Amino acid sequence: MLRRFPCRWLLASAAVLLVIPACGVPACAQQSAEPAADITFALRDADHIATWPVAIREFAIDGKPIRFDRPVHVQGSWLRTVAVTLRNVSPKTIVQGGINLVFPESGDGSEAHPYEACWSQQGQVPKIVYLGHDGYHLPPGYDLQKPLQLAPGADLRLIFSACGDATQAKLAGQPIHQAALTFTSFYFADDSRWSAQEYFLPPLPGTRQWRRVTPNEFLHSTGAGQ
């Protein structure tokens, strides 16, 4: 049965149809996209690069290599496309490590206003890290962590897809022009570690005190070449 509608309804409907094309698909997509920005990426603590256990082979955004200390134009969900390739330049096998991408303009580093950051890690922290005076206190899910065996000279590709979108959402509305790559701790197959620009050997039996050593002592310590 043919239904008849009042003329005023037809006029209103026509007005709606005329309005819809004003926000077509390309225009609406542009409105919802992340705003573009020019960000300069830096490598934090680069003056210690000679003693690092890893070297950065490539830093890329959306598959395109990026150079440090030069403005880079980014747009959309770019953070999830960041990839960093590291090479193990130490004489030991790395079993855990990673890198952070920190935005220093997003806070002041305090507990109340921390810097926003996105990080990527692989591997499993050695159990000795969780050794207390009454035994091991492993965190929940420890046994579910995928082990890493990054031999000397091997490369590791780290991606930021897991935290990229969430971090960008927190940065929305903030003028961001700087970002810094900084390493997390790196652990080795002999339970030694590199953290905060320094090397440490594992505690001796019966103790829980990590032993700080020089880079040269680390290179010649027990377990080198594992």
Tokens representing residue 154 in the block: 């091997």
Q: Please give the average per-residue pLDDT across 10-29, as a whole number.
A: 42
Per residue in 130-182, pLDDT tens?
988 888 899 999 999 999 999 999 999 999 999 999 999 999 988 999 999 99
Beta strands (DSSP E) in the chain are: 37-43, 54-61, 64-65, 71-74, 82-88, 94-103, 116-123, 131-132, 135-136, 155-159, 178-183, 186-188, 193-195, 198-201, 211-213
What pLDDT is attached to residue 206?
Answer: 82
Q: Is 162 helix (H, G, I), strand (E, B) or coil?
A: coil
Average pLDDT over residues 196-200: 96
The whole-number pLDDT of residue 36 equals 81
Average pLDDT of the chain, as a whole number: 86
Q: What is the DSSP letter of 180?
A: E
**Residue 34 — very low, low, confident or very high, per pLDDT cuts 50/70/90?**
low
pLDDT for position 35: 66
Q: How far apart are the C-alpha atoms of 112 and 190, rounded to whole Å?
A: 38
When pLDDT is cut at 50, 70 and 90, the band that residue 223 belongs to is low
Indicate the burial class of 62 (C-beta count within 10 angstroms; 0-12, 13-18, 19 or more). Answer: middle
Q: What is the pLDDT of residues 52-92, one digit of tens each?
A: 999 999 999 999 999 999 999 999 999 999 999 999 999 99
Instruction: Answer whether 0.85 is exceeded by the pTM.
Output: no
Q: Which among 138, 104, 103, 105 has a CA at the least distance from the CA of 124? A: 138
